[in-house]
Each structure stands twice: as structure tokens, then as C-alpha cells.
Amino acid sequence: MLVLGIETSCDETGIALYDTERGLLSHTLYSQVAMHREYGGVVPELASRDHIRRVLPLITQALAAANCELRQVDAIAYTQGPGLAGALLVGASISAAMSFALNIPALGIHHLEGHLLSPLLSTPAPVFPFIALLVSGGHTQLMQVDAVGHYRLLGETVDDAAGEAFDKTAKLLGLGYPGGAALSQLARQGRPGQFKLPRPMINSGDLNFSFSGLKTAVLTLLNKQAIDDQIRADIALAFQDAVVEVLTGKSLAALTQSGLKQLVVAGGVGANEQLRRNLSRKASAQGTTVFYPELEFCTDNGAMIAFAGAMRLQAMPESARQPARGFNVRARWNLEMLETPKPD
């Protein structure tokens, strides 16, 4: 079965074609980052309008790259939530229209389910069950992934996401948006131990995170002294040390608590070299394998939505595979409320 995936939940338009026999055939992506940079963050209305401009040309491109025609598509999978309502509506409405016109089902996919299953698109792929650390601009969560549709939230941020904290701190340090990569670049010049920032919630006894206090701590440091390039780099390193130590500590605790031996790191912050080094070193010391899927599958993309759709389609009874009769989106949507697919 051939599934067309459509991701429009935030600032990336992602399209993909996934075949249940042949695997991922193609995927195309347009990132709006350059457009939003001017405003220092994602502007929802601009995001929706840009998705409208990109989505059909990207579908045409993805079909051409896969050497397929639209009429060969057996089902559409689109991100139904969570995300920006207007942006989600673009993918949902196009999917509903195509589903109706082609007389094929349209499946609304939970964006985080896409992220959680995306490591299975990479090689080597983890096998169920595994722990996933999702760290992006929008999410910071530790999940146990037992099977398709079986996800357990172990812990999450109580305020800012890790990537959001990187971006806000980067802004305080005078770096552009999104600033995570630039901050980690700057941290390379930092002198270890020059400043020490708190490790929020490291001893909270649960697997939750809190990152909003760190940017305030950085602001206090910045206001306390004359700032030159070296001090900025020292502060960047101190901030990164704190985030990496907390993410590593909680991930290892999740592995210990669950008794599982595989950790998958997904999301843009997973690109952070210090996080990778630290996690790999500490995890291998306790006999755990850490998987870092290719960045193109870690950050928002259409492939993960097509893949999650294909998994769900296969698990669906034939009778449920009906074309759309309408559409709705879920800007807020708890992953644990997801229905588990039930095979025939």
C-alpha cells in the first residue's frame, strides 16, 4: 500500500511517499525558518499561508521523485495535531479534499507518534520496546515506546522545551533565531567551569524537566558583569552543560527504571554534539545503545507521518478504511489519549 504523508503542524511543510512493501520512496521538505527568523520566532499566520503555497508543489515533487502518480496512492496520512491550528488546517483540508476526490482514506496522525516511530525509518533501527527522548523547539519528553499505538509518557517539561531554552538563551547572548546550533558553536570557545548554572529538577525524583529558570539565570549572569566575547562563550558553555547534564541524567534514569537497553534521541536538540557525546559515553557504560536517527527524520518531516499512517492503515480493519467526510484538527492533543490500532 502506498501512503502519502503530509506534515504541516508548525514551520516545516513535509511530504513523503511510503510504500508498505518497498519502504520510503521519496520525501520533500520546505523549511520556513528563514521567513520566521526576521521575527525571532514562528509567526502562526505566516506559517499557515506559506504551507498553502508549498504543499501542492511539494506533493508533485514527491510523486515525481518516487516515479508515482497520484491515482496510485492508497491512503493519505496527515498531521492532525498537536500544533498550530491554522497550519494544521492546511494539511487536514488538503488531505480531506484529496481523500474525497480519490476515494481513499485520510488518516489523522498525532505528530508525536510520528516522531516516536521515525527512528524505525533509519538504519540501524531500534526494536520495540525502547525509550525515546524527544527534544525539539516544541517538545521535551521521555516516552516508553512498546509498539505502534502503545506509548507511555514517563516525563516532560513543565515549562519551556529544551530547544526553546536554547533559542531564548541564544537570543540573550545576541545570536540569531533559531539559536541552538549557534549557541553550541559559541560554547566550543567557552572555558569549562568558569560559570556554574543550576541543574533544574535534577533531583526531583521524577522524569520531568524545567528549563525556563535557566534563561533567567543566564540573564542574571549577563547583568552582573562586563561582557566580552570570551565571557559570552563561557556562559554559553555553562548553559549547555546544565541542559546536557539534566537531559542525560533523566534519560539514564528512564532506562534504569524501565529496565530497557535502547534509547532513541529525536528532535533538533539531538544534533547537539555535547549531548551526543555525554549520552553515548554514559549509556554505553551501563550497557545501553543510543540511536540517533538521521537529522532529516529527527526534525519535523513528512516521512514520519507517512510511516505512522502506513502502520496504522495496516492495523485497521478493511471496513474502517473509508474516505474522509470532513476534517478537524487538534491543536492540543494528549498522546496517551490515542486509540490503539486493532487488527481484524
Give the binding site for Zn ion (CB under 5 A): 300
- For Zn ion, the closer of residues 137 and 190 by Cβ is 137
Q: Which listed residue (160, 167, 234, 241) binds ligand KG4 by CB under 6 A? A: 167
Closest CB 194 distance from ligand KG4, rounded Å: 20
The count of other CB atoms within 10 Å of the CB of residue 107 is: 24
Question: CA torsion sign, 76 to 336 to 265 to 241?
Answer: positive
3 state DSSP class of 24: strand
Site string for ligand KG4, 16-55 (x = CB under 6 A): ----------------------------------------
Cell numbers given for 274: 555535547
In sequence order, the 6+-apart residues with CB closer than 8 A to the CB of 185 are none
Q: In this chain, which stretch among 60-68, 92-100, 135-143, 319-327 interacts with ligand KG4, using CB under 6 A?
A: 135-143
Cis peptide before 129 (omega within 30 of 0): yes
Q: In this chain, which stretch among 60-68, 94-102, 174-182, 324-332 interacts with ligand KG4, using CB under 6 A?
A: 174-182
- For ligand KG4, the closer of residues 76 and 271 by Cβ is 271
| 254 backbone dihedrals φ, ψ, rounded to 5° | -65, -40
The count of other CB atoms within 10 Å of the CB of residue 210 is: 17
Q: Please report, as residue ranges, which positions from 182 to 201 form the binding site for ligand KG4 (by CB under 6 A).
A: 184
# of chain residues touching ligand KG4 (CB under 6 A): 19
Closest CB 190 distance from ligand KG4, rounded Å: 14
Please name which of 204, 200, 239 lies closest in space to residue 219, comparing C-alpha atoms: 239
In sequence order, the 6+-apart residues with CB closer than 8 A to the CB of 338 are 110, 113, 149, 151
- For Zn ion, the closer of residues 9 and 99 by Cβ is 9
Quick one: what does residue 80 bind among Zn ion, ligand KG4, none, with the CB cut-off 5 to 8 Å set by partner type? Answer: none
Q: Which listed residue (166, 209, 297, 327) binds ligand KG4 by CB under 6 A? A: 166
In sequence order, the 6+-apart residues with CB closer than 8 A to the CB of 344 are 317, 318
Q: In this chain, which stretch among 48-56, 131-139, 207-215, 217-225 interacts with ligand KG4, using CB under 6 A?
A: 131-139
Quick one: what does residue 155 bind among ligand KG4, Zn ion, none, with the CB cut-off 5 to 8 Å set by partner type? Answer: none
Query: What is the Cα–Cα distance from 184 to 294, expressed in whole angstroms?
Result: 19
Query: What is the Cα–Cα distance from 39 to 34, expressed in whole angstroms?
Result: 10
- For ligand KG4, the closer of residues 2 and 132 by Cβ is 132
Query: 259 burial class (0-12, 13-18, 19+ CB within 10 angstroms)?
Result: exposed
The count of other CB atoms within 10 Å of the CB of residue 323 is: 16
- For ligand KG4, the closer of residues 95 and 169 by Cβ is 169
Cell numbers given for 79: 498531521
Q: In this chain, which stretch among 1-9, 163-171, 224-232, 315-323 interacts with ligand KG4, using CB under 6 A?
A: 163-171
Under the binding rule (CB under 6 A), the answer on residue 5 touching ligand KG4 is no
Binding site for ligand KG4 (CB under 6 A): 10, 136-138, 163, 166-167, 178-181, 184, 267-269, 271-272, 299-300
